[in-house]
Copies of this chain bind each other. A is one copy, B any other.
Amino acid sequence: MNSPKKDFPVSQARRFLEPGPVVLISSRWNGRDNIMTLGWYTILEFTPSLWGAMISSGNCSYEMIRRSGQCIVNLPTVDQIDTVSRIGNSSGDEIDKFDEYDLTKARADYVDAPTIAECHASFECRLYDDTLVASRNFFIFEIVKARVAERPVHPKTLHYIGGGAFITAGNVTSRKALFTKVT
């Protein structure tokens, strides 16, 4: 279990999302909650804290997120690899994933959707730019609130490579001395 989550600057969400881990997107619409896995996303800006995601319209979550204009990014770690795999291979049309996978709903501050208590971090998001939603299923969100567990400082995240396999995050190496401007 991670240490309790603390408030974290939204402009620094890239610290956890830029390295490319698979994340769990929770959403709520019309009295229903759901979770999907997501690996096709990128950071887009520090301030406002923007990121973009390709969410396939085949996902149950697609309409929930499009209609609510909200979602939460939850960051899972290697101990959750089975749960992550199962979430990505089941449909919210058929099961309640929170119940099925024994996940705890925690209240978000600014978004009407549940965060996943067991995850290392949560990023509450509002839809910011839907220009490419109709043509490419590409959503741009603003992170309006971030909460991150204080320990471990470098969580062992999962990075999907296809074929049912994940790379897990390895060592951290600094080359700060070679950086002229550290962001």
Contact = CB atoms under 8 A, between A and B. Distances in A.
B174 A165 contact: yes
B178 A172 contact: no
A81 interface: yes
What class of interface size applies to chain A in its complex with B? Answer: 35 or more
A162 B40 contact: no
Contact of A167 (B171, B178, B179, B180): B171
Interface string A131-162: 11001101010000000000000101101111
A170 to B, nearest CB: 3
A32 to B, nearest CB: 22
A131 B140 contact: no
A119 to B, nearest CB: 18
A47 to B, nearest CB: 14
A41 interface: yes
Contacts of A89: 178-181
Interface stretch (A11-19, A67-75, A110-118): A11-19
A170 B167 contact: yes
Interface of A: 12, 14-16, 18-21, 39-45, 52-54, 78, 81-82, 85-86, 88-90, 129, 131-132, 135-136, 138, 140, 154, 156-157, 159-183
